[in-house]
Structures are given as C-alpha cells and as structure tokens.
Chain A
Amino acid sequence: MPVTITPTGTEREHGRRVEDHDHGSGRRPPIDKGDKRTGGNGDGDNWSNRPQGRRGPRERLRTYRLGLFFALASDLMFFVAIVSTFFVAQNSGRFNAYNHYINEWLPTTIPPVLWLNTAVLLISSLTVEIARRRMFHEQFVMEEWFGLGRPTSRRAVPFLLATVFFGLLFLAGQALAWKQLAVQHVFFASNPSSHFFYLITYTHAIHLFLGIGVLLIALYGLFFSRQLETRQILVDCSAWYWHTMGVLWVFLFALLAFFQ
C-alpha cells in the first residue's frame, strides 16, 4: 500500500487501529476481491473475527442487502396472495336459479403493447446491472481510493439515468395499455378477470414507481454522498430491487398473458 496517500473523505473511523492492521496509512482499500474474502493480510487475518463494524469493506453493504432481501421476500408474499386469489376467482362459479353453472370470468385479452413494455423492462434491468457492476469495478474503486476523482459515480450515472428512462417508458407503456383497454370498455370493475388485470398491473406499477424514486435517490447519492460505500449501497440495493420487480413482472405478465 502506498504509505503517503491518506484519503480522508472515505474514512469514518477517527483513531488508528493497530490491531486492525492499520499502519497509519488509512485502512485497506474498499474492495473485496471475489476470491479472497478473509481479510487480505494473510496469516489468520479474518474479517469475520473482527469486532462488528470493522469486518471489511462489504459489511454495511451486506447488511443493507439482507434487509432488502427480507423486504422483497415479504413483498413476494403480497403477490403470492394476489395471484392465489386470481386462480380462486378464475375457478369459482355459482348455480343460478335455473341450475345453470355460471362463471363470470371473461378472459381479458392483454394489449400487445405489454410485450414491448416487457422488453423495455428487461433492457432496463440490463442497464441497472451495468451501473451496479461499475460501482464495484475494482480499477475504478482503486482510482477513487487513490484520490483521483469519482470515477465510479461518473461511469455509473449514465446507466442509472438510462434505467430511469426505461422505467418511465415502461410506466408510460402500461398507461397506454390501460388506455387501450378503456377504449374497449374494459375497466377495473368490468369483470373478475379485468379486476385482476388492473389490480396486478397497478400494484406492480406502484412498486416500479417506488423503484424509480429509489433510483433517483441513488442518483442524488452518486452526486452528493462522499462515501463510496454509501454510493455502492444505494446503487446496489436499488438495482436488486429493480431486478426483482423485473423478474416479478415477467411472471405476472406470463400469468396475465397465458393463464387467463
């Protein structure tokens, strides 16, 4: 490690910690090579054995990721409940006064624009993944650690902006789909099937809307947060949220398109 460079912006700790292999030159760079997760100083130096808060550069990131994972698991149960109800409603009928079996479910034909929307959302997943990976690109991170500007942010911003754009495009496409259905006089209240079409697309759109909000916060963070780790967390968590909403949409879209 270069002993003369002591970056201050990325340091949170005040004192120097000899037991933490801190020799006064700042702590280790904020990267964590995939093949070596044990601390890097060899000879039994294991990040997991350090006190909480000093377990390597990814400690906070892992914490936030785990929180997001639980939140998404919980959210998944929301959609599991809605989709279960979809199948229950689809298969429930009644006998009328003439003993005829009545099932009011009239399958809603999805507007073809949903195919385009799906493609747009998948592309946005691609862009957000590129942005996410750029936040962890070792060379960029090292450059920043050396004090050479903020290459990570600079290189991730365009792709986050692209993701926001594609996200908005998807929402516009969904709005178009709702409009097309309205022209055909298919409204939320028209039919059990249309209830679900709207319910599912609305709730997913709300989630995506929140996702765009999170992406904007991440963008804000890229410009104004001094800590690289915070920026990595912001982009990483919004990216995983975005991916989940994308994958979820693929399933919901398949449900609406093929299981009516």
Chain B
Amino acid sequence: MMTPRSAAELSSRQHPFRKSFLVHALFTTDHRLIGLQYLALAMVAVIIGMVLSLLMRLHLTWPDRVIPLHGPILPEDYLALVTMHGTLMLFFVMTTAPQAGFGNLILPSQIGSRRMAFPMLNALSFWSTALALVVLLASTLVAGGSPISGWTAYPPLSAVAAAGPGQGAGMDLWIASIALFAIAATMSSINTLVTVVRLRCKGMTWSRLPLTVWGWFTAALLSILAFSVLLAAIVLLMCDRHAGTSFFVPTGDLVNGSLHAAGHRGNGSPLLWLHLFWFFGHPEVYIAILPGMGLTSMLLANFARRRVFGYRLMIATTLAIGLLGIMVWGHHMFVAGLNPFAGTAFSISTIAIAIPSAAKVLSWLATTWRSRPSYTTAYLFSLGFASLFLTGGLSGPILAQPILDQYLHNTFFVVAHFHLIMAMAGVFGLFAATYYWFPLVTNRLMSETLGRWHFWLTLLAAYGCFLPMHLTGLMGEPRHYAQLAELPGSAANRLLAPTLPLNMHITISAVILVASQVLFFANLAVSWRRGLIASANPWQATTLEWSPALRAHSHPTSDGDLAPVEAFRRPCHYWSHHNGWHFLPQWDSADTTEPKSE
C-alpha cells in the first residue's frame, strides 16, 4: 500500500511543473520543455521580424510616413530593418523552430526514446541561443543602432566601422550574436545526430525512421558542417575589424570617400567572404526547409490515409538534397565577380537539385492522388507547403542560370523566390507542425474553424504578397533600396512608376498576411486552456510520438519500470479495405500481413 508521502513524491515527480515553474524552466534538461522554450524564443523572434517586415513594406509604399516614437524612416533605418528582419527570421526562427524546437519536442519520441542523448548540452545550447538573441536585439540600443549590412553581412560594409551607421558597435554585437548562435546550433545538432544514431528503440531501423526524423538528421548533418565555417568567417571578419588584418577588404578601398588603408595589411577580397558565408548560407536554407519537407511527406500520408509514395526514395532524396546543398553556394555569387567557369559548375549543380526536389513534389502528389483525405488544418498547411514549395521552386532553375541571374539577381524576383520557397513554405511547415502536434503537448485540439480561416487567409495573402514580386522584379524593381516611390523627376521614378500599383497590392497583402496571424496566436491562446479534449491518437497517426507507452510518461521519471517501446514497421501503414481504411501504428505488434490493398 502506498503511503501518502510516497504518493506525493510520485506526483511531484510526474508533474515537475508544480514544484517551481521558474526554477524548473531555467535549469531544465527535459527535452520537451527545452523544445517549447525554443519555440517560445522563435515566436518572440518571428513577431519582431514580422513587425519589421511590415515597417519595410509601409515605408516602400508611403516613404514620407512618420513612424510614431521614431520619426521618418531614413535609408539607414531601412537597411537596419532589412538586416534585423533577415537575421531574426533566418537564424532565430527558421533555424531554431523546426530544427531545435520541434526537433526537441518530437524527435526523441518519434525514434522511441524518452530523452535526448545529452540533456545538459541541450540546455546549454538553448540558453546560448537565447543569449544570442538578446545580444542581437541589444544592437538596436547602442550608438549608431543596428547594422545595415544585411543578414549576409557583405564586406567592406560589414568589415569597416566607418562604412555606415550601425557598422560600429551594432555590427560587433551582430557578430557576437551570430558567433554564439553558430556554436549553439552546432551543439544542438550534435545532440540531434547522436540521439538519432544511438537512441533509436528496438526495431527502429534506419528505413523505418519517419521522414521527419530523416529531415532533422540531414539538417543536423548540414549544421555541423556549415555553422563552423560561418564561425571561421566571423572570426576573420572580427580580425578585419579589430586586429588590423584585411582578409575581406581590398587594398586602396575607398570607404565613405576616405582610403581604408591605415593599419590594415593585406589585399583581401569581399568574394572570399561570399564564398565562406554562402558555404554556410546555402546549407542554412536547407536546414530551414528539410524538416518541413519530411513533415509534409508524413502529414500528407497521414491524412490521405496512404503510404508515402516511394519511402526509400524519399529518404534518398532528403540526403541528396542535403549533399547537393553543400555544393551549390556559388549560385549566390553569379553577379559578384565569380569566375564564369565556376558559375557554370555551380549552375549545373544547382539545377541538379531540381531532380530530388521534383521527386519529392511528385511523391507528395502521388501520395495524395485520388485519396479521400480528411481536410484538417494540419493537412491544409501541408498542402500549402507543397504548393508554396512548388511555386517558389519553379523560379529556382531560372535563377540558377548565370545569364538570367545577371538581370534578376538584385531585383525583387529573388525576394519572391526565396520568400516563397523558404520563408513561406518553411512557415507553413511550422504551422502544420503546430496544429498537428498541439494535442501532444496540451492534450487539446486547436480550433479547426479558426485554423481554416487562418490557413486560407495566410495562403491567399502569402501568394498575394510574393507572387507580384516576380513581376515587379522583372520590371526592374531593385531590392535593398530604401525608397522606390516618390522620387520626383528622377529616371528611377519613371522606371519604377509601373510597379507602384503592384507594390501597393503587395503591401496590402503583407498587412493582411501579418494581420491573419492574429488568428493563429488567438487560436493558440484559447485552445491552450479551452480547446476540445483530444483523444489519445487524434489524427490516427502511425508514428511513435503518439504511442501510449511514450505518452504516459511525458516527463522523465527514474528509469524504473517504463514500458518498453518497439517499432514493428514503417510509419504510414495505411490501407483501405471494403469497410473503409485501416491503419497499423509503428508500435502495434500485430502481424504485418494485412489484407491485400484494393
């Protein structure tokens, strides 16, 4: 018989939240809580990043409008907005949320483990990331404000403090933040890789791993290769700024009209920075999108009640995209003075990525083709992911050709391309993940009605915002320019005049896009406490995170008598029979010889 005291101990062990939430959250090594912390961090970053992008759009459309408490947006302010928007979104949203956020929250249970391989390292990488975000945001407070050299930090702008406002202390803080982030991301990826390799449960063979896990795994592989190169580049950049070197600044460079030579030796090249940065930067966009691709495959199959079409092929294409992803960085540099022969090579490798990417899209189509799916919000967002990925992807082979890129590279065409394929598709992946896994965290469902409104508004506004950018780009609208309208009497004004109606359309769509996210946050807030109670496996999912054995112990207890976890088959084991469809989850030990599919 259980004494009252031991019962209390047991309950405090099962509900660590009760003890002291703050202390627990600060020092937790529980992977689920760390995952939620990462997601909260990403949410802070995404809200700031969204507001910044809105300010950019409003400024482009109404350049003379004065921002309350700030004043007019000066050109350097606009560039600071571009920089902070890009840095927040790329690093602190698209890298942390899918990879570290949902990675921590979901990955261990999807492979049948109750923990990550290195819990302490996990907490350390989260707090380093949080510190990196604080350091980045602090750059707005120092003299000169935030840096203006973009998330890509091209020298000489980034290498010389005199190059512009924000390039002094603000840039130093940016560098410190990104260095910290790179180390944190590397630690987090090491954790992911070791967890996947070592902690898979019995029966979870490599070919039975859910495709989401393959996405996380490949992204983590890319992370450990790419982020340390970024770190090296940042060390060199810091030397250029403070140690009298000149790795990235050419001899005799004029910065703001004065010669940048005093005390700096060597004949550097901005192109060298581009090589180092984009060796990181291109894998980075795959780090952002690969988990979403894996999730899309799994969710489409889940809701369409189909097996994933070409499961092994999907694993292979994930790895192939990762491999090609580290061989294509030069396509960001076609107009930067790259050797034309190198341009051809990078062009070929870039176009080659279309092959595994197209295979993925075809698999998504084949998986859902003539199925009778349940159109849940999570499914809609997965379809949205496929749609945006396809739309954004189609302009990829265009931009991959140096001769076309010559014209398009510095126009809004590129903005349209990467926002559709990476930003919007990536965010749709995050939305799908949130709607899908929300019951796993809260035992409640998110509101489907609000979810549908959120989906359709977001989808239409996203297309309304980014599709016309292709056209304005083709018309010659340059990116990174602080002002496009109301330049009286200039030739630029005449050139850009036809784009103004479209720009107005883009801005209004952007406002709608941002405004419709209120629905999402409202849905989160309301459903957290008052959502419908979810059943144990609300989506009839087949992957292990929904298995009773892993859900009963959502918090780590001393490993005394935890139910054993075993995987018996591949995920997405659905088939239809004369009396409807059936499914066998991975944890079900039933005989795998199911009735013949129709």
Binding site for B on A (CB under 8 A): 14-15, 49-53, 59, 62-63, 66-67, 70-71, 73-82, 85, 88-89, 92-94, 102-104, 188-192, 195, 199, 203
B40 CB → nearest A CB, Å: 26
Given contacts A49-B202, A63-B198, A66-B198, contact A78 B228 (CB under 8 A): yes
Determine whether the beta carbon of A63 is less than 8 Å from that of B267.
no
Cα–Cα, bound, A15→B560 (Å): 7
Cα–Cα, bound, A154→B71 (Å): 70
Q: Which residues of A contact B227 (CB under 8 A)?
A: 74
Q: Which residues of A contact B595 (CB under 8 A)?
A: none
Q: Which residues of A contact B559 (CB under 8 A)?
A: 53
Q: Does B288 contact A (CB under 8 A)?
A: no
B63 CB → nearest A CB, Å: 40
Interface residues of B in 183-203 (CB under 8 A from A): 186, 189-191, 193-194, 197-202
Cα–Cα, bound, A203→B245 (Å): 16
Binding site for A on B (CB under 8 A): 112-113, 117-118, 121, 186, 189-191, 193-194, 197-202, 224-229, 231-233, 235-236, 239, 243-247, 250-252, 263-269, 272, 276, 279, 558-561, 564
Question: Whose C-beta in chain A lies nearest to the C-beta of B112?
Answer: A52
Determine whether the beta carbon of B236 is less than 8 Å from that of A62.
no
Cα–Cα, bound, A102→B250 (Å): 12
Determine whether the beta carbon of A195 is less than 8 Å from that of B201.
no
Determine whether the beta carbon of A75 is less than 8 Å from that of B228.
yes
A104 CB → nearest B CB, Å: 6
Cα–Cα, bound, A243→B263 (Å): 38
Determine whether the beta carbon of A104 is less than 8 Å from that of B224.
no
Given contacts A67-B190, A74-B228, contact A81 B244 (CB under 8 A): no
Cα–Cα, bound, A192→B266 (Å): 5
Cα–Cα, bound, A78→B227 (Å): 9
Determine whether the beta carbon of A52 is less than 8 Å from that of B201.
yes
Q: Which residues of A contact B269 (CB under 8 A)?
A: 88, 92
Q: Which of B189, B266, B269 has the most A CB atoms < 10 Å from its CB?
A: B266
Q: Which residues of B contact A85 (CB under 8 A)?
A: 232, 236, 247, 272, 276
Determine whether the beta carbon of A189 is less than 8 Å from that of B263.
yes
Q: Which residues of B contact A94 (CB under 8 A)?
A: 250-252, 267
Given contacts A70-B224, A74-B225, A104-B265, contact A189 B231 (CB under 8 A): no
Cα–Cα, bound, A82→B229 (Å): 8
8 Å CB contact of B245 from A70, A88, A189: A189
Given contacts A62-B198, A71-B186, A74-B225, contact A199 B239 (CB under 8 A): yes
Determine whether the beta carbon of A88 is less than 8 Å from that of B263.
no
Given contacts A71-B190, A85-B276, A92-B269, contact A188 B228 (CB under 8 A): no
Given contacts A15-B560, A51-B202, A70-B194, contact A77 B243 (CB under 8 A): no
8 Å CB contact of B190 from A51, A70, A82: A70
Determine whether the beta carbon of B266 is less than 8 Å from that of A104.
yes
Determine whether the beta carbon of B267 is less than 8 Å from that of A52.
no
Q: Which residues of A contact B118 (CB under 8 A)?
A: 67
Cα–Cα, bound, A122→B17 (Å): 51
Q: Which residues of A contact B235 (CB under 8 A)?
A: 82, 199, 203
Cα–Cα, bound, A53→B118 (Å): 14
8 Å CB contact of A189 from B186, B191, B202, B243: B243
B120 CB → nearest A CB, Å: 11
A233 CB → nearest B CB, Å: 12
A23 CB → nearest B CB, Å: 19
Determine whether the beta carbon of A81 is less than 8 Å from that of B224.
no
Cα–Cα, bound, A93→B263 (Å): 18
Q: Which residues of A contact B191 (CB under 8 A)?
A: 67
Determine whether the beta carbon of B199 is less than 8 Å from that of A52.
yes
Cα–Cα, bound, A63→B264 (Å): 46
Q: Which residues of B contact A73 (CB under 8 A)?
A: 224-225
Cα–Cα, bound, A76→B560 (Å): 40
Question: Whose C-beta in chain A lies nearest to the C-beta of B192?
Answer: A70
Cα–Cα, bound, A199→B246 (Å): 13
Cα–Cα, bound, A51→B264 (Å): 60
Question: Whose C-beta in chain A lies nearest to the C-beta of B225?
Answer: A77
Q: Which residues of B contact A192 (CB under 8 A)?
A: 245-246, 265-267
Given pairs A73-B224, A73-B225, A85-B272, 5 additional interface contacts (CB within 8 A) = A51-B202, A70-B194, A81-B233, A81-B276, A92-B269
Cα–Cα, bound, A66→B266 (Å): 40
The 8 A-B residue pairs whose C-beta atoms are closest, nearest first, are: A189-B244, A81-B232, A74-B224, A192-B266, A78-B228, A77-B228, A81-B229, A70-B190
Q: What are 12 inter-chain pairs, A to B, with CB distance below 8 A? A: A52-B202, A63-B117, A63-B194, A63-B198, A74-B190, A80-B229, A81-B228, A85-B232, A94-B251, A189-B244, A191-B266, A195-B245
Q: Which residues of B contact A89 (CB under 8 A)?
A: 247, 266, 268, 272
Question: Whose C-beta in chain A lies nearest to the C-beta of B558?
Answer: A14
B216 CB → nearest A CB, Å: 14
Determine whether the beta carbon of A67 is less than 8 Å from that of B265.
no
Q: Which residues of A contact B267 (CB under 8 A)?
A: 92-94, 102-104, 192
Q: Which residues of B contact A49 (CB under 8 A)?
A: 202
Question: Whose C-beta in chain B lies nearest to the C-beta of A192?
Answer: B266
Cα–Cα, bound, A66→B195 (Å): 10
Cα–Cα, bound, A79→B235 (Å): 11
Q: Which residues of B contact A190 (CB under 8 A)?
A: 265
Question: Whose C-beta in chain A lies nearest to the C-beta of B271?
Answer: A88
Cα–Cα, bound, A76→B229 (Å): 9
Cα–Cα, bound, A50→B226 (Å): 36
Determine whether the beta carbon of A188 is less than 8 Å from that of B194.
no
Cα–Cα, bound, A38→B458 (Å): 55
Q: Which residues of A contact B236 (CB under 8 A)?
A: 82, 85, 199
Cα–Cα, bound, A92→B267 (Å): 7
Cα–Cα, bound, A103→B121 (Å): 45
